[in-house]
């Protein structure tokens, strides 16, 4: 396949990541506080200059497992008897593992958490002079008319009112940032779904909310002021608008990567069909296997890229 051929593989002296902040130039060092890294305390270029892919997912454990899986798949060797280190372990916030050109990082839950991480990872890419990195969010979601275990590649991230932008409060004013995802990357990922995969992989719109319960129309939270009819009317409206899943990070992920000129994709598995219920009741082993599905797809993409070099 030819889709990687246009990539610029040169090790260049300037990052292609867009830092829209001239104040950074005036600082003698930049402390990436939530990563336990800094441009004064670490040689970020030596540590991260070879990064090509940044994979983010919710939990530290899942991202550690993904890092080990990647190690196997891309035959990346660390000295015998050693283990992968969590590079950000002293932050006690996010976990970060590096497997050759791939960073695997936990982003926690929700847009504020992924937003803080993106600010610091985007700056990390800049300080390390990384060229054309590709960012992935690999996560979980609630399906809209799709059974649990379905993999969804987002073609658009929208808020609960179906608006395709992130609204931020900056200096007391509302600022909107468009949540744009790379269309070509979506189809490249889709092309890597295999006919033998025992689950569908689809492309569709993703709703991103600031809450798991009321914000996603659940009736099983501590509070609920709407009726079953109102909930179903909303979820059916999402379905007829092309929404395939609901989660909690894609909007900030799409908007902030786009603002930095970074190619990005969101790949999530569904843990239930929200048209059929609210509670996630599947056994742990089933959920664990489902959560590996987005990882598998992204791993295929990374392997394919690396095999072309
Ligand atoms: C999916 O799962 C989490 C909530 O359970 C949240 O981080 C998300 O987007
Ligand atoms: N994550 C979400 O945000 N919603 C779900 O329904 C499942 C996982």
Q: Which of 109, 212, 231 to mutate to test the pocket of ligand 2 (most atoms within 8 A of CB)?
A: 212
- The answer to whether the predicted template modeling score (pTM) of the entire model surpasses 0.90 is yes
Q: Give every CB contact of residue 248 below 8 A, 6+ residues apart in sequence.
A: 109, 110, 111, 208, 209, 210, 211, 212
Averages of pLDDT over each 10 residues, the chain, 309 residues: 44 83 96 98 97 98 97 92 94 97 98 98 97 98 98 98 98 98 98 98 98 98 98 98 98 98 98 98 98 98 94
Name which residue sits closest to atom 6 of ligand 2, judged by CA. Answer: 142
Find, among 175, 148, 176, the residue nearest to 163 by Cα.
176
What gap in Å lies between CA 285 and CA 290, rounded to an integer? 9
For the Cβ of 216 lying below 6 angstroms from any atom of ligand 2, the answer is yes
Residues with CB under 6 A from ligand 1: 58, 109, 139-141, 212, 247-249
Using the mean position of ligand 1's atoms as its centre, give its distance from the Cα of residue 58 in Å.
7
Using the mean position of ligand 1's atoms as its centre, give its distance from the Cα of residue 140 in Å.
6
Name which residue sits closest to atom 8 of ligand 2, judged by CA. Answer: 141
For the Cβ of 57 lying below 6 angstroms from any atom of ligand 2, the answer is no
**Quick check: 35 and 127 in contact, CB under 8 A?**
no
| pLDDT of the residue at 12 | 65
């Amino acid at each position: 396949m030819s889709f990687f051929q246009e990539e610029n593989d040169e090790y260049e002296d300037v990052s292609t990541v867009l830092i829209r902040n001239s104040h950074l130039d005036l600082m003698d060092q930049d402390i990436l506080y939530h990563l336990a890294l800094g441009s004064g305390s670490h040689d970020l270029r030596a540590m991260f200059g070879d990064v090509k892919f940044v994979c983010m997912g919710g939990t530290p454990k899942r991202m550690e497992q993904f890092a080990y899986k990647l190690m196997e798949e891309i035959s990346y060797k660390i000295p015998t008897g050693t283990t992968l280190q969590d590079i950000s372990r002293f932050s006690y916030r996010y976990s970060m593992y590096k497997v050759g050109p791939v960073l695997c990082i936990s982003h926690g839950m929700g847009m504020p958490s992924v937003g803080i991480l993106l600010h610091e990872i985007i700056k990390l890419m800049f300080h390390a002079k990384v060229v054309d990195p590709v960012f992935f969010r690999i996560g979980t979601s609630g399906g809209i008319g799709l059974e649990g275990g379905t993999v969804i590649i987002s073609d658009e991230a929208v808020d609960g009112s179906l608006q395709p932008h992130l609204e931020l409060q900056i200096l007391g004013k509302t600022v909107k940032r468009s949540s744009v995802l790379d269309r070509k990357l979506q189809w490249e990922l889709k092309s890597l779904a295999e006919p033998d995969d025992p689950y569908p992989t689809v492309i569709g719109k993703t709703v991103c909310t600031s809450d798991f319960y009321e914000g996603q129309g659940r009736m099983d939270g501590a509070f609920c002021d709407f009726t079953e009819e109102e909930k179903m009317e909303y979820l059916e409206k999402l379905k007829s608008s092309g929404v395939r899943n609901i989660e909690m990070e894609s909007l900030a992920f799409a908007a902030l990567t786009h603002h930095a000129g970074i190619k990005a994709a969101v790949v999530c598995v569904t843990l239930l069909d929200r048209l059929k219920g609210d509670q996630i009741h599947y056994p742990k082993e089933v959920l664990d296997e489902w959560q590996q599905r987005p990882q598998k797809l992204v791993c295929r993409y990374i392997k394919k890229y690396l095999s072309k070099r």
